[in-house]
Amino acid sequence: MSDIEQLKAELLGAIGEAADLAGVEAIRVSALGKQGSVSGLLKTLGKMSPEERQVEGPKIHALREAVTAALGARKDALESAALDARLASETIDLSLPAPEMPKGSVHPVSQVMDELAEIFADMGFAVATGPEIEDDWHNFTALNMPETHPARAMHDTFYFPDRDAQDREMVLRTHTSPVQIRTMLSEGAPLRIIAPGRVYRSDSDATHTPMFHQVEALVIDKDIHLGHLKWTLETFLKAFFERDDIVLRLRPSYFPFTEPSVEVDVGYANEGGRRVVGGSGDEPGHAWMEVLGSGMVNRHVIKAGGLDPDEWQGFAFGVGVDRLAMLKYGMDDLRAFFDGDVRWLSHYGFSALDVPTLSGGVGTPA
Amino acid sequence: MKFSLSWLKQYLETEATVEEVAAKLNAIGLEVEGIEDPSEKLTGFRVAKVLTAARHPDADKLQVLTVDTGDGQPLQVVCGAPNARAGLVGVLGLPGATVPANGLVLKKSAIRGVESNGMMCSTRELELGEDHDGIIELPEDAPVGTAFADYHGADPVIEVAITPNRPDCMGLYGIARDLAAAGLGTLRPIEQLDIAGEFPCPVEIRTDDPEGCPAFYGRVIKGVKNGTSPQWLQDCLMSAGQRPISALVDATNYVMLAYGRPAHAYDLAKLNGAVFARRARDGETVLALNEKEYTLDSDMTVIADDSGVHDIAGIMGGEHSGCEDGTTDILLEIAYFDPERIAKTGRKLNLTSDARARFERGIDPSFLDSGLAHLTRLIQTLCGGEASEVVRAGAAPATPKIVHFDPVLTEKLGGVSIPLEEQQRILEALGFVAVAEQAGFDKAWAVTVPGWRPDVDGAPDLVEEVVRIHGLDKVESVALPRTDGVARPTATPAQKQERRVRRAAAARGLQEAVTWSFLPQVEADAFADGNGGLWTLSNPISEDMKVMRPSLLPGLLSAAKRNLDRGASSLRLFELGRRYLRGKDGASDERMALGVVLAGDKAPRGWATGKAVPFDAYDAKAEALALLAEAGAPADKLQVMGEAGPQFHPGQSGTLRLGPKNVLARFGMLHPTAARQFDIDGPVALVEIYLDAIPGKKGAATFARVSYAPPALQAVTRDYAFLVPVELPAGDLVRVVQGADKVNIVAARLFDDFRGQGVPEGQKSLALEVTLQPLEKSYKDEDLKAITDKVTAAAAKLGAVLRG
């Protein structure tokens, strides 16, 4: 064995046994450093005759390459082992809980109002608003309920001791209907609006709260009749409950602000103690439930809204938003709506991302 | 209105079942609220015959009966009724039956040691009458053993909700008329009666208040014998939910329930001189039939005689002149009262009655004479007596209303085409008279409104009459005309802002609550901020719901308190709603606000984080800023200032303002005194954002953003530390540093606030990281020095010294 062969065997052996990166570096210096054994051999090439160099040169270069490669390989191996060891030492228990983010929610009343706005926007209804502390002209008189009208007494009105500059008694609005008057006066006709909001009756028991939510709809145009009202109600309720089998029963009724007046029942089935809207109320296992009041806007109301009743006519209806929410999403206690119990809000509330859209269906499945 | 089916059939000739009647009533707008089947409550009662009756061995007043129930083996029954005797056919309640009058469930028992297998019943016990003097005696041929419900005949009772526009249907005859018009049968006409008087009326009758009482008719009946009314009359009244009282009172009630015509019978012996309608005197009192005393005033009409008031006109009679068992001579009053005055008087006295309900809705002014004749005949039939001539003071409004009605309107408004003949038939069946105003019946009609329909005063009312009788179910749905293309956006900027803020708050982990608009007085006072006074209800439902909220925070604090009491450990509640302030000209000023309450733990104790972390004022600030930004406020222009209000911790609260005056939000920690008021332990952080104070976007919305390309050169950062007086708000320093070189400085962020070793007493060290953005070429040393000089100079104006 030549000297070169022997040196190669020694160096490769030593590299293979190097225990750490420092050992590898020490071998590199001893072989390839300025004073290194391989470097020394390379320096001998200059003193050789060309013939000698031709023979020895390739051998010495091969030695250098073999040592360099072995050093690199050993270094990689050692580094890899060190990383493995470090990673092994860094293992954590991922069954421990991650940081919690609080989960917010949207109240069912807000959610349902957004759903209604979405549905009615598609039918061309804008959203209108009005004050909740109303004067009795807007809340009653303009709606064809003069002071002695028996229907006034049926409204369980909350009164304030205050009177406005026109000496009108101030009340908490008992319905969203005054928005009809305000919108007719400010916008004129034709008109298609919904007016959602808080309303108040001095009534409190298991199924009534002194504050609740209504949405009013008003259409004023030239040739609007009861058939349009019926279609609008059917279309709205089908879209809201996302069911095609909604059946309505229209019954003549009386509201001072409409003539003719129509009370609307919707058919439902009793399923496991819960009312599920759909089907005719006359089918077996079904019944009718009153859901809203409606009618053709009374001429006196159109006049109070500053419009000519010989030119304009239309329909209006009002429906309880809380009731709609309960029917759709299955709550059974109205009073819980206004308690702010976070357990209830977490259970019945909606995610911020449950934005009602027509393309996705306005409702949020359970 | 409640009535039995058989009573209805006195006026309506029909074969319809109770279900058919109910369905038709619903269809024509007389909403059925319930159907009672009296046979249900008679389950377990049987026609039975007393075979033997013997004295009870241990009780004088009891008898031991053997009773044949038709089952073969007679039963032994103990009975206390004096009329119990062998041979009597009566009604036996068997063990298991429930006595309708008192809910008692009968069972086999021993009475004074003698076995009893049921109970022989009185009419009162079965709610069939008032008689409780003895047990029911049926005719001897009553079939022993049959169920008493079958023998008695089940007469179902229908309850109908009468809308306030239909006083005519507050008499059963009006309901029958509607049903007949709708094709359910034939209406029997009201008999035209004229009962001639046998002597002049001995009492002077007049009306001194023709406004309140335009008409007052009366007559005297002498020699009546009052007593219990016959069973058929009692049955009618009881089906209507009224207690039979005496024949005279029952007769007036019957006329009211049958024809919607209230009347009153006075005991003539208790009257003194002329009887007349007049205005009450202020402070005058009357003891009414409900045994309550009412104080009257001069807006109220009364019926009086020389000695005083006997009747709150049209509402309730007086206790002192009412008919009693011994009454022999009576004065009948049938009058027409002004509906508005009745309504006002009733409301002022807070007194409701069947008479008021009818008079204030408007009774038929053409039914005075007929009503009086029918009442007279009924009383004479029941009680005998001789009637005087009728005295008529004043006259009821007599001019019939005529409505101009173009039958084309039925389709235009009702959306259903109904042949002219059918329209006319319906109107006439309801008592209207329709006559063509000119040649051609398809032109406008002059429609005369019957006196019993005060609600009808325009053509749309007639459309309603025609359509409801024709059938609302025949109205076909017609789609609303739709504009071309997809639906246009309809929400206003305020609505969009509200929706966005709501969902932003929910996305940030806050839970939306909806709380009452009204508050207890003390809570409202604590959050009133001098806006001109709170809105306080005159008639709150309770003291806790009395004052309209001036702020959203009290309601949320109460909700937080309830949750904490239920054991909640961490609360993030918000509400989006109105505050109620005073506006112009006595109107309200309702402003949208967002309230946030953070209570309990911000973060629970954790394996990685240690102890639970409570909320602090910076959490409130973070919510305020984030939600203001979502609401469209210019977040970079907001200044933190003081004066959050006395409800807040004075050292840990602030306002966010746009300029010195416009407060967009307040935030901070709840004042410990306020926390005590709400009975909440532990720190509570609050935010209130005034959405109405955020300036709207100017100009029309455009979708294209301001153009932007990221700079090619890399930004550099420089840190500066300043010594400043301790009281200097850090935000002021940040703002001046940021503004020191508007070309180069794109951001300044405070990252350290240090006090203590190395920092002189009364000072603090604030460190800022400033981001510089070179535009055309990279900074040279002299550029950076120039910027530093500007920063230092700007900071120096606040007394800040750059640390070496």
B482 touches chain A (CB under 8 A): yes
A190 touches chain B (CB under 8 A): no
Same domain membership, residue B439 and residue B382: no
The residues, ordered by sequence, that sit 6+ positions from A158 with a Cβ below 8 Å of its Cβ are A171, A172, A200, A201, A202, A210, B537, B538, B539, B540, B541
Phi first, then psi: give them for residue B21, nearest 5 degrees. -65, -45
Q: How far apart are CA B661 and CA B85, in angstroms?
A: 96
- The domain segmentation of chain A, as residue ranges, is 3-89, 108-348
Q: Is the pLDDT at B71 greater than 90, yes or no?
A: no
DSSP assignments along A15-81, one per residue: HHH--SHHHHHHHHHHHHSTT-HHHHHHHHGGGS-HHHHHHHHHHHHHHHHHHHHHHHHHHHHHHHH
**Residue B635 pLDDT:** 84
A342 touches chain B (CB under 8 A): yes
Decide if B663 is inside a domain. Answer: yes
> Is the Cβ pair A133, B488 closer than 8 Å?
no
Q: What is the average pLDDT across B271-276?
A: 91
**Residue B575 pLDDT:** 98
Same domain membership, residue B368 and residue B259: yes
A84 touches chain B (CB under 8 A): no
**Residue A1 pLDDT:** 54
Range of the domain at B462: 417-474
Q: Is the pLDDT at B210 greater than 70, yes or no?
A: yes
Decide if B295 is inside a domain. Answer: yes
Q: Which of B660, B693, B726 is the last residue of a domain?
A: B693
Instruction: Choose the closest CB to B29 out of A253, A340, A346.
Output: A253
Q: Which of B142, B129, B65, B77 is nearest to B100 (CA)?
A: B129
CATH value at residue B732 = 3.30.70.380
Same domain membership, residue B680 and residue B549: yes
Residue B7: pLDDT band (50, 70, 90) is: very high
Phi first, then psi: give them for residue A345, nearest 5 degrees. -65, -40
Q: Closest-CA residue in chain A for B585?
A: A165
pTM, rounded to two decimals: 0.85
pLDDT digits over B765-786, tens only? 999 999 999 988 999 999 999 9
Residues 130-149 of A with CB under 8 A from B: 131-133, 135, 148-149
pLDDT digits over B108-119, tens only? 888 888 889 889
Three-state secondary structure call for residue B372: helix
Residue B436: pLDDT band (50, 70, 90) is: confident
Q: What is the average pLDDT across A216-238?
A: 95
B752: its two tokens: 């350290």
Q: What is the average pLDDT across B587-601?
A: 96
> Is the Cβ pair A252, B165 closer than 8 Å?
no
Distance of CA B571 to the CA centre of its chain: 34
Residue of B166, B412, B472 to mutate, interface with A, max A Cβ within 10 Å: B472
The distance of B498 to chain A (nearest Cα, Å) reads 10
Q: Which of B379, B394, B409 is the last residue of a domain?
A: B394
The residues, ordered by sequence, that sit 6+ positions from B176 with a Cβ below 8 Å of its Cβ are B8, B11, B12, B187, B188
pLDDT digits over B627-678, tens only? 999 999 998 889 899 888 999 999 999 999 998 899 999 999 999 999 999 9
Instruction: Choose the closest CB to B513 out of A127, A250, A340.
Output: A340
**Total count of domains within chain B:** 6
Instruction: Choose the closest CB to B414 out of A105, A149, A225.
Output: A225
Same domain membership, residue B387 and residue B315: yes
Q: What is the mean pLDDT of chain A?
A: 92
> Is the Cβ pair A107, B508 closer than 8 Å?
no
Q: Is the pLDDT at B610 greater than 60, yes or no?
A: yes
> Is the Cβ pair B464, A260 closer than 8 Å?
yes
Q: Which of B468, B455, B343, B337 is nearest to B401 (CA)?
A: B455
Q: How far apart are CA B576 and CA B615, in angstroms?
A: 21
> Is the Cβ pair B166, A226 closer than 8 Å?
no
The residues, ordered by sequence, that sit 6+ positions from A86 with a Cβ below 8 Å of its Cβ are none
Q: Is the pLDDT at B295 greater than 60, yes or no?
A: yes
Residue B440: pLDDT band (50, 70, 90) is: low
> Bridge partners of B662?
B658
A25 touches chain B (CB under 8 A): no
Pick the CATH number of A108-348 from 3.55.40.20, 3.40.50.720, 3.10.105.10, 3.30.930.10: 3.30.930.10
CATH value at residue B265 = 3.50.40.10
Min mean pLDDT across A43-47, A328-332, B460-464, B603-607 is at A43-47
Same domain membership, residue B365 and residue B309: yes
**Residue B531 pLDDT:** 63
Same domain membership, residue B90 and residue B28: no
Same domain membership, residue B117 and residue B77: yes
**Looking at beta carbons, which residues of chain B come within 8 Å of A160?**
535-538
Decide if B527 is inside a domain. Answer: yes
pLDDT digits over A69-105, tens only? 988 999 999 999 999 999 999 999 999 999 889 999 9
Q: What is the mean pLDDT of chain B?
A: 92
Decide if B781 is inside a domain. Answer: yes
**Residue B439 pLDDT:** 67
Same domain membership, residue B335 and residue B275: yes
**Residue B665 pLDDT:** 96
B684: its two tokens: 């509570």
Residue A14: pLDDT band (50, 70, 90) is: confident
Q: Is the pLDDT at B589 greater than 90, yes or no?
A: yes
**Looking at beta carbons, which residues of chain B come within 8 Å of A182?**
none
pLDDT digits over A275-314, tens only? 899 999 999 999 999 999 999 999 999 999 999 999 999 9
Q: Is the pLDDT at B1 greater than 70, yes or no?
A: yes
Phi first, then psi: give them for residue B212, nearest 5 degrees. -80, -30
Decide if B773 is inside a domain. Answer: yes
Cβ–Cβ < 8 Å for B474, A230:
no
Outline where A190-320 has alpha helix (H): 226-241, 299-304
Residue of B28, B32, B165 to mutate, interface with A, max A Cβ within 10 Å: B165
CATH value at residue B552 = 3.30.930.10
Q: Which of B270, B271, B228 is nearest to B250 (CA)?
A: B228
**% of chain B surpassing 90 pLDDT:** 71
> Is the Cβ pair B585, A254 closer than 8 Å?
no
Same domain membership, residue B259 and residue B299: yes
Q: How far apart are CA B354 and CA A189, in angstroms?
A: 43
Residues 348-387 of B with CB under 8 A from A: 357, 360-361
Q: Is the pLDDT at B441 greater than 70, yes or no?
A: no
Same domain membership, residue B297 and residue B356: yes
Cβ–Cβ < 8 Å for B469, B182:
yes
Q: Which of B693, B708, B725 is the last residue of a domain?
A: B693
Q: Which residue has the higher pLDDT, B437 or A326?
A: A326
Decide if B480 is inside a domain. Answer: no
**Residue A6 pLDDT:** 86
pLDDT digits over A231-284, tens only? 999 999 999 999 999 999 999 999 999 999 999 999 999 888 888 999 999 999
Decide if B409 is inside a domain. Answer: no
**% of chain A surpassing 70 pLDDT:** 99
Min mean pLDDT across A54-63, A195-204, B28-37, B398-407 is at A54-63
Q: What is the average pLDDT across B17-26?
A: 93
Cβ–Cβ < 8 Å for A348, A136:
no
B743 touches chain A (CB under 8 A): no
